[in-house]
Structure 1
């Protein structure tokens, strides 16, 4: 199955905890994959367990509902993205250089795992208020991280970073929906130049 790792057949040395963790991971991956193909509303628990090759009983051992599985997959994806951005932004270079590295790594993460990316971007509103609240908080944290990265010292500059994060989220939605990987990567250079201009003008 694409991206869904099966446990080894027969006897193995995995602990019960490791087996449970692997099953949970497979279910979250399957949720992202099926939902990216069918959309949140049309995705069923049966679809997810069939893709993950896990029993219904095992699904409900880990999650209480489709919504619970979706939120777990959503939180996992946003955590991975935040960590990638933080790692890419660390190290040498000025504010714009750090932003450029972080943006390039963020866009590459979307290219490499489009199913999880669509889960974060495209299906949130269909998943309901809990998902919308998590996305809102995620974007707020990214805005704060961007403000620190770009050394935005004023309230106006910090607000500009929040606006920029929201704009990037909107801009990636189209290429993600159509599977245009190069269009995602192509967003990087003009965004970097835009931020460079904002920084030079003292707007961030």
Structure 2
């Protein structure tokens, strides 16, 4: 069990030895999770603070000790979800022996997040639009962070095959934008087939974008212009 999961667990009833900081951390983790789940299930527009506090098993007072309103809670939950995903993405990629293996492990991670946390994924990918410009600004910041990950992978490939041409301007932005759209389609229609098709397409997009060439499954990991 991770530290996040421990903090998300309900606090023991009655007297306990937890510090004030531990109590607040537990409440915050549960509120962030509850916010994403509630937004993903009922939509941001109709969301009430009471729905969040009920799911998190905390009082309204505890909620307002952490957030100013439901928008603040959603934005912070959005950031927390994205930061956790990016951290895991970087971790699994760093353990890969080759850029193509990194793409494969990353897509497997992606499938896990979509299938294990469908409500949170729906809130993160779709409901963020309900916040207007503030939500779009947050989404844009997340996409820039993913673009940086794309750039790292592209430079890694070119260290292995210096003959590859440089990645063209805006390729990273196009690949990431298309990836988000494919993910959004999978969240709207979360069938196993749709999720599998989306993640395969995202994998192909990243490989083609980073190498400027198509990739055939089972081909040699050696990267050249001739492919």
> Residue 177 of structure 2 corresponds to which residue in structure 1?
166
**2:190 corresponds to 1:179:** yes
Question: CA separation in 1, counterparts of 2:137 and 2:54?
Answer: 29
- Using the size of structure 1 for normalisation, the TM-score is 0.87
C-alpha displacement of 1:182: 4.7
Matched-pair contact (CA < 8 Å) for 2:31–2:56: yes
Structure 1 residues 93 and 74, CA gap change in structure 2 (3 angstroms)? same
> Residue 162 of structure 2 corresponds to which residue in structure 1?
none
For these two proteins, the number of residue pairs brought into alignment is 199
Structure 1: gaps spanning 5 or more residues: none
2:43 to 35, 39, 42: 39
> Residue 139 of structure 1 corresponds to which residue in structure 2?
143
Structure 2: gaps spanning 5 or more residues: 159-164, 214-224
Question: CA separation in 2, counterparts of 1:68 and 1:193?
Answer: 36
Deviates more, 1:113-122 or 1:22-31: 113-122
Matched position secondary structure for 1:9: coil
**2:160 corresponds to 1:148:** no
Matched position secondary structure for 2:108: helix
C-alpha displacement of 1:45: 0.8
Matches within 5 A, 1:21-36: 21-36=25-40
> Residue 63 of structure 1 corresponds to which residue in structure 2?
67
Question: Of the two, which has the highest radius of gyration?
Answer: 2
> Residue 120 of structure 1 corresponds to which residue in structure 2?
124
Structure 1 residues 76 and 194, CA gap change in structure 2 (3 angstroms)? closer
Matched position secondary structure for 2:97: coil
C-alpha displacement of 1:61: 0.9
Question: CA separation in 1, counterparts of 2:205 and 2:75?
Answer: 33
Q: Please list every run of at least 4 consecutive aligned residues from structure 1 whose deviation after the TM superposition is greater than 6 angstroms.
A: none
- Using the size of structure 2 for normalisation, the TM-score is 0.79
C-alpha displacement of 1:107: 2.8
> Residue 74 of structure 1 corresponds to which residue in structure 2?
78
Deviates more, 1:114-123 or 1:12-21: 114-123
Deviations 1:126-162 (A, max 9, x none): 0232221111011011012112113277351x52122
> Residue 105 of structure 1 corresponds to which residue in structure 2?
109
Q: How much is the aligned-residue C-alpha RMSD, in angstroms?
A: 2.2
C-alpha displacement of 1:195: 4.1
Matched-pair contact (CA < 8 Å) for 1:40–1:126: yes
Matched-pair contact (CA < 8 Å) for 1:96–1:195: no
Matches within 5 A, 1:81-100: 81-100=85-104
> Residue 216 of structure 2 corresponds to which residue in structure 1?
none
Question: CA separation in 1, counterparts of 2:45 and 2:32?
Answer: 16
